[in-house]
Amino acid sequence: MEGVQVITQDYVNVHITKSDSEDGPPVERRFKKAITVLDFKTKLELVTGGSATTMKLKLYDNKNNLICEIDNDSALLGSYPIDDGMRIHVIDKFSLVKDFDATDSAERFKLSEEEYEKKSDTLRSFLQRNKLGKYNEEEMNKMKETQQKELEEEAKIAESVLVGARCEVRVPSQPTRRATVRYNGPLDGAKGLWIGVQYDEPRGKNDGSVNGKRYFTCPPKYGGFVRPVYVTVGDFPEESFDLDDEI
């Protein structure tokens, strides 16, 4: 049908795991849906230390169910059924990275910086030769530019979220919750900007403090911190709950 468009978010937040550290904690990253799968794999080189030419990708939902394999390098990342909170598992067949990683720390401890730099069989030399990770200057510059644009976009969104305003919090895969904005700014140990809210119901995770630092005060489990993109400010009256209807 002409004139019909499917509109989705430009970016997606996903968790990244890899095959050589199955039990390790996932790494959360934000990617643009409009990039190709090959570009996406190239960005994953900086996260996993692997190679875009050898890695295979599997997509899992937030209940750990396999959704599909992401295997068409020329397709757009957003053409796959990927959503916030999902997990992408990187199966990296390039074993040299894994072998180097196991001994590299001990090697560097034993050698001086000058001696270590001269060796040709270290993780650093491998990354330099193949222009991977931080040694890919062009890719690192692109990543810095992307991150800067994302921070600027986030700042614009956060600017309109005023403390004291009523709002709805709409986090993917979670029910919509009404709240009052209590904080707007950075959190210690976390990247970017965060919105602190006091929910109308005890559906939060804290009392306005995180890791021992207080940002605002509210009853336990009424507080929460979310990204600005998930907060919609508006004339949302506080919901009334009739306890007589509950058992």
Give the pLDDT mean for 93-121: 47
Segment 192-208 shows an average pLDDT of: 93
> In terms of DSSP H, where are the helices of 131-210?
137-159
Q: List b or e across 198-230, with b for residues whose CB sees 16 or more CB atoms inside 10 angstroms.
A: bbbeeebebbbebeeeebbebeeebbbbbbbbb
For 3-22, the pLDDT digits (tens) are 433 345 788 889 888 887 65
What is the distance, to the nearest Å, from the Cα of residue 109 to the centroid of all Cα atoms in its chain?
A: 32
At 165 the pLDDT is: 95
Position 124 scores a pLDDT of: 53
The predicted pLDDT at position 49 comes to 75
Structure tokens given for 214: 């207080």
pLDDT digits (tens, 9 = 90+) for 132-188: 555 566 666 666 777 777 878 888 888 889 999 999 999 887 889 999 999 999 998
Q: What is the pTM of this model?
A: 0.45
Q: What is the pLDDT of residues 54-101, one digit of tens each?
A: 888 999 988 888 999 998 988 899 899 998 889 999 987 644 333 334
| Domains of the chain (ranges, CATH numbers) | 11-147 (3.10.20.90), 166-237 (2.30.30.190)
Evaluate if residue 221 carries a pLDDT over 90: yes
Q: Mean pLDDT across the chain, nearest whole number?
A: 78
Residues 194 and 226 sit within 8 Å (Cβ to Cβ): yes
Q: What is the pLDDT of residues 31-55, one digit of tens each?
A: 988 899 988 988 888 777 778 888 8
The pLDDT value given to residue 7: 44
